[in-house]
Chain A
Amino acid sequence: MGGQLLEMRSISKQFPGVQALKDVSIDLVAGEVLGVVGENGAGKSTLIKILAGDYGMDAGEILINGQKAVFRSPSDASSQGIRVLYQELITLDTLTVAENLFVGHLPTRKGTGLLDWRETNENARAVLRRMKIDLDPRTIVGDLTVHQKQVLEIAKAIHKKATILVMDEPTAALGEEDTQSLFGIIRGLKEQGVGVIYISHRLKEVFEITDRVTVLRDGQKIGTVRTNQASMVQLIGMMVGRELTDFYPKREVPIGETLLEVRDLTIKGIVEKISFSLHRGEIVGLFGLLGSGRMNVLRALYGLDSYDGGTIVVEGQQVSISGPDGALSQGIGYMPIDRKLEGLALGLPVSTNITMAHIDRIGGGFFLNRRLERQKAEKWVRDVSIRTPDIATEVNSLSGGNQQKIVLAKLLETGSRVFLMNEPTRGIDVGAKVDIYQMMENLCEAGAGILMISSELPEMLSMADRIIVIAKGRVTAEFGRQEATQEKLLRATTL
């Protein structure tokens, strides 16, 4: 290993209402892979965005090769040899590999100013050969696989003399084979003295490829360990840390008969023969990493995406779900992951939003019964404690928590028995969270069943009666409420 490439010292960063980073320090040596791990919201992406020059910092300093560096923009960072490969790759898909590689400084013919294609392609071939990358410079980038695009981005970074390469969840969309191929390339980079910062949720991979690991939690650095001296359990313990409190108003609700049974649900290329059941009074959690297929299961059950095989049984009746309207008429309701994208008509009033999934069944025949609509909206505003000046207020003027409660009210108004909830408390404040948990428990007491996806582990562990772990489109484990632990869940995602 070589000398000190990078040092980030006592970095702090505050956003309105959130201390995103507090006194975090990391360092990177040439030829080393440093893993950065932590739960969602631990501060990983803020740290990376500061390093990339996207965000300024409130306190702290960055040293590159021992020299103090100030980044005012992403181009400052990139001129210091820092490159970040984000999860969503930014390639120019309609251009060729060679054009992507040399974008901004394509060779031109003297005199005419026209592009010199032969030189472009020959240079590209040389660059790729030096890095032992098997790509044709003339291929259109849109035709490449995710992994090939990734490799191309790495080649571009190295060609532009990057010495510090940051990879954010690089394997999220890769299969096992491509992952190994990526690791081969990373090892090659190490030999060239490049320093790599590797961010991943997949601890198994972190153990395989990193030399050291820094753990962040709630915006603070918990510690840095040598990978070969650490254990999985130790790392997870460092990541999770906090004790779970009474924040979760879980009640003991008797579990009743089967509401929903899913047998051998298959979505080609995504989900393979998944089976599970949901009972009255029960909250079942679907746990898995990004791309595991758990969201596809929920969307397929609601008829938003089609499925290729399997049986869905609702209260003993086999059903086929043709679309959201079909699902709703079977008593299946859905809470989308993104309220602004799929949940709300932001420019319309609270009352319209609350009744929008139930207009056809609200009474009044062909015409809208506005009096009935008003009564229903006012009832839900009260019952779910939505803070709004009145029910005619446009939804976009309300806070995130209140907007999420409107999505919940809309779901409750449908009178469904099976509730599919995709991240029910995503991005809302603590008070609103507790209100939503209370409503979920009320539903269970009323005999409904909830199938929930949550990427917040504590929420999953505290609210779900059973947790089904899905990894790479298969069920890999199932835990009861008593036996489930964060360690077990995380380990099951790597199976």
Chain B
Amino acid sequence: MLKARLKPHGGIHPDSHKQLTSDKPIKTLDTPWRLLLPLKQHAGAPALPVVAVGEQVLANQLLAKGNGRFSMPIHSPLAATVTAIDGSQITLRVASEAQRSVPPLARDGELSEREQMIALVEQAGIVGMGGAMFPTADKLRLSLRHSIDTLIINGSECEPYLTCDDRLMQEQGVQILGGIRYLMQITQASRCFIGIESNKPDAIEAMESVCRDEAGIDIVALPALYPMGSEKQLIEAVTGIQVPSGKLSADVGVLVQNVATCIAVFHALRFGRPLTHRVITLSGDALEEPTNVYAPIGMPISEIISQCGGLKSTPERIVLGGPMMGKAIQNIHAPVTKGTSGILLLTRQEVPHPKASACVRCGRCVAACPMSLTPLDLVGVLKQDKLDEASSLGLADCLLCGSCAYVCPAAIPLTEYFDWGKQTLQRQRLSEQKSNRTRANGDARRERLSREAAEKEAAKAAKAAASPRRPRRQTTEEAS
């Protein structure tokens, strides 16, 4: 076992609440009666449905195909009937009879070995399962253009409450190892580090014993610090290098994959199975029995809860993901997606009720920011809509990790400001790109028209020169 090279700057130590579920084995759920599959479960545009209402589908059958950049296919977790398709999701009624599945995904023989494997990962619809839902195939494709020497498997799981990766490492270490071997083959990385926070001794021990005889694979015990699982902080802690601002981790020869993604890659490459199920932590004091579940993607939260003992009290807030970066939802019947790592049903006591006040410039946010930004100054300029100044203060580098808002004694919604600022910047950049493209197109068209006109003119002149002159002279004579 290795130690982290350094402790990244800033970060916070929130109450972990992991003891609620850390010793609960992953429980496989009974088949639900319906599934709701959102068409957008990835970074890009929503997938395009390829099935029709009323159609019978088998397990693992393709339901929707990727639509352009960073868009991934979606498969049916179970044999079912399509009952509805609207703009945002496909609704399935799960068949009650025996489950049958389509044949496994096959490799495309045309491509090179590495590209075949990446194509299969893409066909399986795998996205980053830590929550970002960035298509894994697109990340792996970076290794074709950049030389990758280090693969880092992210088992830090720094978000409070969540224990699904912890349980996966304890229960399915061999499959993680299988995934690592495939990933090392794809990326051609020479070494692999599995980063695990030191507050998960059981997971560290399990992975140590699995990887004992593996050359080039090492376990790195990381400091228990939020946001240790953020890609940039993880890379810094493991390798000691910082990813330059605005660059990708592949630019420094590193690729990071989450442990659950690793297992999904293993299943896709070994068995030709698309990503249709995932492990989710079900936690929070409002639950009767907090636990870890293996659920089909698209299963409504309410059904998962009812299979796990139900609710103890009315939750004050339902959060998908971890409490630091997760999204609060109102609808308890909402489905889980490929990126849902946790479902939290929080009681009134667990949800903060901070008293809002004015900023006293205490600097806690400055000390907590893992990117070493100055959140209080950023908010100051964002309040005045000075986006240029905000970007010179590093707004684009903000991870939206929420560390600053967590420590702010004045309870200023810092993350909300930065989210807004980042989105506005992004929109500005897109519209700038668009207008640049329009201008370039306009210039090209003008240039083409003038070139064509000149060509036409030249052709005419050439034709005139080549043709006998007499008729024309006659006409001029007639005219005169």
User: Do A and B bind?
Assistant: no
B residues lining the A interface (CB < 8 Å): none
A residues lining the B interface (CB < 8 Å): none
